[in-house]
Amino acid sequence: RADPARAKPARIDRRLLLAGGGLALAGGGFLAWQRLGGDAASSTQANSVAVLPFRNLSGDKERDYFAEGLTEELRSTLSVNRQLLVSGSGSARGFGAADIDVRQVATALGVNNLLTGSVRQSDARVRISARLVDGVTGFERWSQTFDRAVADVLAVQAEIASTVADALISTLAKDPRWRAQRPGGTRDASAFDAYLQGGRLYSLGQTETDRQALAAFDKAIAIDPAYAAAHAARANTLVAIANQDPDVAHGQQLRRTALASARQAIRLAPDMGEAHATLGFLLMSQLDMAGARLSYQRAFDFGFGDASILAACAEFFTNLGDFDRARAALRRAKDLDPLNAGVFRLAGTLAFATRDYDTARAELKTVETLRPGRPIVQRMLGDMALISGDVAAAHRHYLAEPSKLSRLRGLAITEAQLNGAAAGEAQMAKLVAEYGDGGLYQQGEVLAQWGRIEEALTTLEKALQLRDAGLALASYDPLLDPLRKQPRFLAILTSIGITPKAA
């Protein structure tokens, strides 16, 4: 199967909150920028803006979810406007302190404007203060405080988004098609609140909180059945639960339910980019690469202002072998989210897939600077060391890999070379005992590296029969190179919609 550390749908950030890895910056945004030498940002544009985390002033940490969710909704709403360049949440989230230096933050994020604010919420009323600041001069461009009933919070959100957009594109012709509400939203404040609570729970990335998040999204849908964003979030959460389910058959059932939720989201909001990305991810995880391609192309079109969606598209097109399209999506994602560790990891994956290992190492070094200990980084570094012939270095990288599935697969290969076949078999036995048929793809990688070609092919054919999502990586995986000229392997690639490339 695909490694749980990377098998995530792509919506509101999380573990690339619902649409692609936990992208919070280690040590805070400004510190991360300093570690990169203060040059992470791209060139700025007058209509560029970062929505910094709104602060919760309610005196109740339990209400953090509301301020965080409101921030994400404002960012999502603004990002749909193609006349704006809106910084992604992965970078902006690291700059939530009250005493920030706005000019330094704007430089770090590569934007000309910052939207900051605070929320003070009680049971019946909410006070939202918002401020738009010129990131070049540090001067305030606009500010306002809204004191409303909680039921009016959605109207306030729309008013803030509309005012900010008008201020930033005042010198341009307004886009008559844009509305200050993102596709798939709701007009019901109670449904919105349940949705925000679900997003907060989902972002925690634990099995129990995933189930609590699912209940919250179900509540939002019960209140407003036409709430497309909640249906998409429900689909993402079902996939996250399925990825942790040791019962492969039950996991597949959960994914089928998720597929129905994603399709319902698209029926309700055909222009919602994250819903198309979610559907694409689900189709890819079922190895329907042709169907997934259409979904990701639509996600790219509708989500052109959302770095998480673009990163998800880049990952899919990398898996498909469409590297030019993957590069285009990543370039845009980096412009929008210049301090996002998840985006840099995907850039490393793309370079790894194209066998540009020097670039891959440089991208992964940036990941380690932004967020040390991120899963899959050490696995890729280990694979590159293995390919170069430095088995001892590969072994060290695999030992440091946080993902157990990737770690065991790497150790099975290197232990066999360093300490003999029995040592490798011992690690393979652990992999099989821990993951069973859920780790068939990784077992196939090990067998290919051991030179047991017929066994590797039989294992991967079984993985295909069980729709093991790991096969989505087979087009570029260098550990499968010993199989690339085998007709049985070429047949596997063709059957899932991947055009085989010569070894």
pLDDT per position as a tens digit, 69-102: 888 888 888 887 877 888 887 777 767 655 678 8
- Give the model's confidence band at 381: pLDDT under 50 very low, under 70 low, under 90 confident, else very high: very high
Q: What is the pLDDT of residue 300?
A: 94
Please give the Cα distance from 177 to 318 (Å, whole number): 32
Q: Residues 422-469: pLDDT tens digits?
A: 999 999 999 999 999 989 999 999 999 999 999 999 999 999 999 998
DSSP 8-state assignment for residue 154: H
Local structure of 53: helix, strand or coil: coil
Q: What is the pLDDT of residue 162?
A: 76
Which fold would CATH assign to domain 375-503?
A: 1.25.40
Local structure of 503: helix, strand or coil: coil
- Give the model's confidence band at 26: pLDDT under 50 very low, under 70 low, under 90 confident, else very high: very low
Q: Which secondary-structure segment (H or E) carries 459?
A: helix 453-465
Q: What is the pLDDT of residue 363?
A: 96
The domain spans of the chain are 1-16+187-367, 41-182, 375-503
* For range 237-244, the mean pLDDT: 88
Q: Residues 287-343: pLDDT tens digits?
A: 999 999 999 999 999 988 888 899 999 999 999 999 999 999 999 998 888 888 899
Same fold, 41-182 and 375-503: no
Flag whether pLDDT at 8 surpasses 50: no
Flag whether pLDDT at 261 surpasses 70: yes
Task: Quote the percentage of the chain above a pLDDT of 70.
Answer: 87
Please state the pTM of the whole predicted model: 0.80
At the top level of CATH, which class does the domain 1-16+187-367 belong to? mainly alpha
Radius of gyration of the chain (CA): 23
Average pLDDT for the chain: 85
Which of 77, 71, 51 lies closest to 181 in space, CA to CA? Answer: 77
Q: What is the pLDDT of residue 2?
A: 59
In the CATH scheme, what is the homologous superfamily, with its name and number, of domain 41-182? ABC-type transport auxiliary lipoprotein component (3.40.50.10610)
Q: What is the pLDDT of residue 213?
A: 96
Q: Which secondary-structure segment (H or E) carries 114?
A: strand 113-121
Q: Which one is predicted more confidently, 106 or 492?
A: 492
- Give the model's confidence band at 267: pLDDT under 50 very low, under 70 low, under 90 confident, else very high: very high
The number of angstroms, rounded, from the C-alpha of 326 to the middle of its chain's C-alpha atoms is 15
* For range 259-281, the mean pLDDT: 95
The number of angstroms, rounded, from the C-alpha of 401 to the middle of its chain's C-alpha atoms is 20
Which of 160, 156, 241, 234 lies closest to 205 in space, CA to CA? Answer: 241
339 — phi, psi (to 5°)? Answer: -120, 25
Dihedral Cα 183, 184, 186, 191, nearest 10 deg: -140
Flag whether pLDDT at 37 surpasses 80: no
Q: Residues 172-231: pLDDT tens digits?
A: 445 566 555 667 888 898 998 999 999 989 988 888 899 999 999 999 999 999 999 999
Local structure of 40: helix, strand or coil: coil
**Tokens 């919105």 sit on residue:** 192
Per-residue CA distances from 268 to 168, 180, 261, 322 (Å): 30, 18, 11, 30
Per-residue CA distances from 26 to 199, 213, 341 (Å): 21, 25, 9
